[in-house]
């Protein structure tokens, strides 16, 4: 019943193509987004971690959002990342995204000085006061190093525009009890990220999966999510097994670095992540190529 929400099904997170000075290439971005619209992903996650939001200025983030809205034209809900170190900056970004025509917001509690639970709460509250767009809490301790308590998630769920949470994979690998608890206590749409956990998360009944691979090569992950939604566990496992070598490269090299190579391998162009992040070296590239070849060959 909630499947038309931007926080259900497969949310695809593309890279944001940019030059070495951090200027976004809106033409290449449109090419990436067009592929996602044609594949009929359930939502697009623009300017997520994979979309290097943390490395782009407010102005470039606005340019990227405006270009995305123009390209997508309402075909797929557009979720825009508005995380920032400063609360006022996150508010500006939320207003910019809404003004540009985004459908929803995604925000991580980015921090330098480690935040208290109350500081994170008030940071989110301030952003929900700046924009009426539905917001997904981006719980990503691997990049933010902030840990949400269940109590904080419950408290945040009472803010009227907060509708969803994007969780990290559970450390014990057990999804069902976590999903049940979060659903009961928060009423939020429950999604996960960390592509190698997609099969387990969707089979356990997660509402959404926020996928890095889906942002560049949506076919196989969309097939996996649809199989999970249809209750076809065998097909989910088959696709996941096919992707396992690629998941291994995500874990070994970081999925962001791998995506830049995949964008090259599918013929979009040779792009580089923002320095200090470096492109993969020859040996790592070989491993990714070996992992991806069967997928590209199978279409």
* Catalytic sites, residue numbers: 138, 166
Examine residue 123 and tell whether it contacts a second copy (CB under 8 A): yes
Examine residue 283 and tell whether it contacts a second copy (CB under 8 A): no
Examine residue 118 and tell whether it contacts a second copy (CB under 8 A): yes
Examine residue 112 and tell whether it contacts a second copy (CB under 8 A): yes
CA atoms within 13 A on the CB side of 288: 26
If we measure between CA atoms, which residue out of 158, 154, 150, 16 comes closest to residue 80? 16
Nearer to a second copy, 115 or 204 (CB): 115
Token pair 């090259």 in the structure block, residue:
264
| Of 4-12, 29-37, 110-118, 166-174: span binding a second copy (CB under 8 A) | 110-118
Q: What does the DSSP 8-state code read for residue 24?
A: B
Examine residue 109 and tell whether it contacts a second copy (CB under 8 A): yes
Exactly one of 40, 59, 99, 114 binds a second copy (CB under 8 A); which one? 114
Examine residue 143 and tell whether it contacts a second copy (CB under 8 A): yes
Handedness of CA 76, 74, 160, 100 (dihedral sign): positive
Exactly one of 2, 85, 230, 241 binds a second copy (CB under 8 A); which one? 85
Nearer to a second copy, 150 or 278 (CB): 278
Alpha-carbon span 91 to 96, nearest angstrom: 9
Q: In sequence order, what are the beta bridge partners of 190?
A: 165
If we measure between CA atoms, which residue out of 85, 178, 159, 165 comes closest to residue 121? 159
- We find the least distance from the C-beta atom of residue 52 to a second copy, in angstroms, to be 8
Examine residue 129 and tell whether it contacts a second copy (CB under 8 A): no
| Of 52-60, 68-76, 212-220, 233-241: span binding a second copy (CB under 8 A) | 52-60
Examine residue 254 and tell whether it contacts a second copy (CB under 8 A): yes
Examine residue 58 and tell whether it contacts a second copy (CB under 8 A): no
Nearer to a second copy, 15 or 292 (CB): 15
Alpha-carbon span 149 to 243, nearest angstrom: 32
Nearer to a second copy, 8 or 257 (CB): 257
Q: In sequence order, what are the beta bridge partners of 192?
A: 167, 209
Number of residues located near a second copy, criterion CB under 8 A:
36
Instruction: Note whether 79 and 114 are within 8 A (CB).
Output: no
Examine residue 22 and tell whether it contacts a second copy (CB under 8 A): yes
> Looking at beta carbons, which pairs linking 265-271 to residues 24 or more positions away fall under 8 Å?
265/289, 265/292, 265/296, 266/216, 266/217, 266/296, 268/17, 268/28, 268/31, 268/32, 269/17, 269/28, 271/15, 271/17, 271/18, 271/25, 271/28
Q: Please report, as ranges, the residues that interact with a second copy according to CB under 8 A.
A: 20-22, 49, 52, 54-55, 85-88, 109-116, 118-120, 122-123, 126, 142-143, 145, 254, 256, 273-278
């Amino acid at each position: 019943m909630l499947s038309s929400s931007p926080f259900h099904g497969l949310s695809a997170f593309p890279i944001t193509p940019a030059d070495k000075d951090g200027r976004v290439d809106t033409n290449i971005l449109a090419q990436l987004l067009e592929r996602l619209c044609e594949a009929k992903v359930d939502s697009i996650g623009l300017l997520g971690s994979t979309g290097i939001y943390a490395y782009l200025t407010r102005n470039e983030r606005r340019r990227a959002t405006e270009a995305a809205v123009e390209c997508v034209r309402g075909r797929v809900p557009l979720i825009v990342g508005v995380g920032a170190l400063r609360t006022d900056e996150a508010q500006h970004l939320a207003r910019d995204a809404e003004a540009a025509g985004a459908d929803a917001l995604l925000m991580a509690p980015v921090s330098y000085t480690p935040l208290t639970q109350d500081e994170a709460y008030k940071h989110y509250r301030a952003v929900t006061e700046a924009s009426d767009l539905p917001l997904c809490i981006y719980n990503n301790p691997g990049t933010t190093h902030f840990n949400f308590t269940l109590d904080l998630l419950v408290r945040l769920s009472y803010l009227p525009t907060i509708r969803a949470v994007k969780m990290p994979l559970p450390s014990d690998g057990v999804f069902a009890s976590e999903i049940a608890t979060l659903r009961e206590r928060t009423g939020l749409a429950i999604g996960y990220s960390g592509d190698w956990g997609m099969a387990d998360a969707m089979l356990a009944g997660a509402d959404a999966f926020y996928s890095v691979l889906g942002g560049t090569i949506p076919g196989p992950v969309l097939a996996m999510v649809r199989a999970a939604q249809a209750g076809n566990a065998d097909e989910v496992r088959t696709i996941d097994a096919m992707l396992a070598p690629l998941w291994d490269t995500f874990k070994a090299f970081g999925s962001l670095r791998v995506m830049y190579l995949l964008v090259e391998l599918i013929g979009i162009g040779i792009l580089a992540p923002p320095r200090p992040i470096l492109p993969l070296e020859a040996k790592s590239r070989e491993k990714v190529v070996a992992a991806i070849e069967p997928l590209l060959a199978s279409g």
